[in-house]
């Protein structure tokens, strides 16, 4: 069973700017953004607010779940399967240095599990690890994320994992999106370009244009 829903995937990652001092304002902004994003065609939401303590992260995740409950969006919490399960989110996204998908699956059998990868070798390993999808990147240059892999490596990753869903990220905007899908990616994830409405709408339109050829 495809636990992610239908391809192509467009995954909005929250900006990570929320902390206890600005929580109420940032929370309201995130709720408004994810609601608009899903209306625009985004179908995956990753809540990635690393500074928040558990109680506030739970509150945010719970409210995102509530706001999107009548949509087809799949909601993930970054690196906290316990909070994802408690808040009623669909899944958890694991950094490459986090718990392995097999460990998380043992404890949280109902969750959709994704994992970040940064090399062909780790992507191939992730595809057989018990995860449901993988992120691969950075594909293009993006601040603080090291040397970009480029489209050729992305193409090799997609080929190397077969039908396993590869979601590309790292510096992807509306100008890069067609090339990323053409390289075989099942989806795109982004912070900056998917939190900005005009760019997001353009990327969602591109994703729909690739809907038929995608596996």
At residue 215, does pLDDT exceed 80? Answer: no
pLDDT band at 162 (very low <50, low <70, confident <90, very high): very high
Bridge partners, 78 (sequence order) = 93
At residue 107, does pLDDT exceed 60? Answer: yes
Q: What average pLDDT score do residues 98-103 get?
A: 96
Find the helix packing angle between 120-127 and 151-160, rounded to 10°: 30
Count CA within 13 A, CB hemisphere, residue 144: 0
The predicted pLDDT at position 2 comes to 62
Q: What average pLDDT score do residues 143-159 get?
A: 93
pLDDT band at 210 (very low <50, low <70, confident <90, very high): confident
Q: Which two tokens stand for residue 175?
A: 């100008």
Q: Which of 214, 213, 209 is nearest to 41 (CA)?
A: 209
At residue 214, does pLDDT exceed 50? Answer: no
pLDDT band at 143 (very low <50, low <70, confident <90, very high): confident
At residue 71, does pLDDT exceed 80? Answer: yes
Percent share of the chain, pLDDT over 70: 97
pLDDT band at 142 (very low <50, low <70, confident <90, very high): confident
pTM: predicted TM-score of the whole model, two decimal places: 0.95
From the candidate CATH numbers 3.40.718.10, 1.20.200.10, 1.10.8.60, 3.20.20.70, the one assigned to the domain spanning 9-209: 3.20.20.70
Q: What average pLDDT score do residues 129-145 get?
A: 92
Across the chain, the runs of DSSP E, i.e. the strands, are: 9-13, 44-47, 74-78, 91-94, 112-117, 133-136, 166-169, 187-190
Q: What average pLDDT score do residues 186-194 get?
A: 97
Q: Kindly report, residue by residue over 42-60, the tens digit of the pLDDT.
A: 999 999 999 999 999 999 9
The predicted pLDDT at position 213 comes to 46
Q: Please check whether residue 114 is in contact with residue 133, taking contact to mean a CB–CB distance below 8 angstroms.
A: yes
Q: What average pLDDT score do residues 25-33 get?
A: 98
Q: What average pLDDT score do residues 30-41 get?
A: 98
Bridge partners, 135 (sequence order) = 116, 167
């Amino acid at each position: 069973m495809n636990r992610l829903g239908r391809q192509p995937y467009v995954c909005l990652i929250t900006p990570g700017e929320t902390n206890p001092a600005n929580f109420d304002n940032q929370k309201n902004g995130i709720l408004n953004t994810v609601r608009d994003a899903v209306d625009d065609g985004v179908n995956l939401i990753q809540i990635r607010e690393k500074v928040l303590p558990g109680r506030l992260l739970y509150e945010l995740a719970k409210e995102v779940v509530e706001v999107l409950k009548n949509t087809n969006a799949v909601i993930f919490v970054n690196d906290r399967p316990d909070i994802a399960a408690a808040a009623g989110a669909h899944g958890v996204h694991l950094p490459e240095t986090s718990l392995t998908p097999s460990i998380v699956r043992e404890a949280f059998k109902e969750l959709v599990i994704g994992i970040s990868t940064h090399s062909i070798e780790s992507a191939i390993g992730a595809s057989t690890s018990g995860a449901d999808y993988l992120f691969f990147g950075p594909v293009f240059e993006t601040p603080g994320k090291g040397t970009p892999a480029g489209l050729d490596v992305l193409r090799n990753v997609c080929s190397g994992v077969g039908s396993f869903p590869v979601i590309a990220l790292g510096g992807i905007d509306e100008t890069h999106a067609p090339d990323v899908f053409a390289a075989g990616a099942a989806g795109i994830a982004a912070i900056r370009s998917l939190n900005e409405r005009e760019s997001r709408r353009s990327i969602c339109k591109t994703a729909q244009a690739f809907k038929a050829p995608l596996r």
